Amino acid sequence: METYLTDAELGEIQTFIDITKSRLAEQDLALDVDDNLSNWVAHMRQAPGILNIAATHDPARSHIHPGNAFWGRFENKSGQIIACMAHKMVITENLIDEVRSHRIFFNRRPILNHYPVDLRVEPDVPVLSGRVGYGGGLWVHPNYRGRSLSGIMARVMRNLSIRHFFIDWNVSFIADTPSRIQMAHEGYGMANRTPLLKGIFPLYGKNRDMQMFYMSKDEMLAQIATENQSGM
């Protein structure tokens, strides 16, 4: 069952968006969103510094449509996209089952070559069920890196998803390296983490130990209120 938001919670989210737009305007940037992930794929195919396009948010490989996904972008005054991120919502009884079955990575058609993953999720991690938001494909133009845009974008996407999809949780899968873990905690503002898997990461088909970062709706709403008070 969808859990709706109070007027106060809706107000905090809008305040966050207003503050964010003002911060971006100071850098001559604007925020926009789009519900067509094919446009995100088209942009990523020609974006500098891209090694691969995540199947998790590619309509050709996952069941992505306006009812469960959108992407956001920051544009400069010339209309050039200088940062973007995709986001989708998964309805599940347990997100880890979506990882185990590989459906979180690609679910457009049946998987012919399915090999078990070495899951390492800690036993005290809560069951991530209901409406789970999952962000991916975060990209910032090389000329605009070092301006904290990735952290702003990560917050924009999960906070919009609270209001748009009424998500109960938000997750990100991050490579298990000190620098990436620090970025997820300090840059993206994700509250909790657990080892996710070791060895083969199905999304890339090669060895890559991964961590899962996660936040509950209550944690996200509390963060929004706190950061609004500080002006982010």
Average pLDDT, the chain: 93
**Residue 42 falls in which region: left (phi positive, over 0), alpha (psi -120 to 50) or beta:** alpha
Domains and CATH numbers, the chain: 7-230 (3.40.630.30)
Q: What is the pLDDT of residue 49?
A: 82
Whether the CB-CB separation of 119 and 199 falls below 8 Å is answered with no
Q: Give the distance, in angstroms, between the CA of residue 142 and the centroid of all CA atoms in the same chain.
A: 20
Using CA atoms, how far apart are residues 83 and 5, in angstroms rounded to an integer? 29
Check whether 232 has a pLDDT greater than 80.
no
pTM over 0.85: yes
The residue written with tokens 């107000």 in the block is: 11
What distances in angstroms separate CA 67 from CA 35, 44, 63, 70, one per listed residue? 8, 22, 10, 9
Q: What is the pLDDT of residue 3?
A: 65
Q: What is the pLDDT of residue 60?
A: 94
- Please state the rounded mean pLDDT for residues 24-47: 96
- The larger pLDDT score, comparing residue 201 to residue 34, is at 34
**Residues 165-211 pLDDT 10s:** 999 999 999 999 999 999 898 999 999 999 999 998 888 878 889 99
DSSP letter string over the chain? ---PPPHHHHHHHHHHHHHHHHHHHTTTEEEEEES-HHHHHHHHHH-TT-----GGG-TTTS---TTTEEEEEEEETT--EEEEEEEEEEEES-HHHHHHTTTTT--SS--SS----EE---TTSPP--EEEEEEEEEEE-GGGTTSSHHHHHHHHHHHHHHHHH--SEEEEEEESSHHHHHIIIIIS---EEEEEEESEETTTTEE--EEEEEEEHHHHHHHHHHHHHHT-
Q: What is the pLDDT of residue 67?
A: 96
Check whether 92 has a pLDDT greater than 80.
yes
Q: What is the pLDDT of residue 1?
A: 52
Question: How many CA atoms lie within 13 Å of 76's alpha carbon, on the beta-carbon side?
Answer: 11
- Please state the rounded mean pLDDT for residues 205-232: 92
Q: What is the pLDDT of residue 173?
A: 95
Using CA atoms, how far apart are residues 132 and 215, in angstroms rounded to an integer? 10
Q: What is the pLDDT of residue 206?
A: 81
Check whether 2 has a pLDDT greater than 70.
no
When pLDDT is cut at 50, 70 and 90, the band that residue 112 belongs to is: confident
Alpha-carbon torsion (102, 105, 107, 108), positive or negative: negative
Q: What are phi and psi of 150, to 5 degrees?
A: -65, -40
Whether the CB-CB separation of 91 and 82 falls below 8 Å is answered with no
- Please state the rounded mean pLDDT for residues 36-44: 96
- Please state the rounded mean pLDDT for residues 142-149: 92
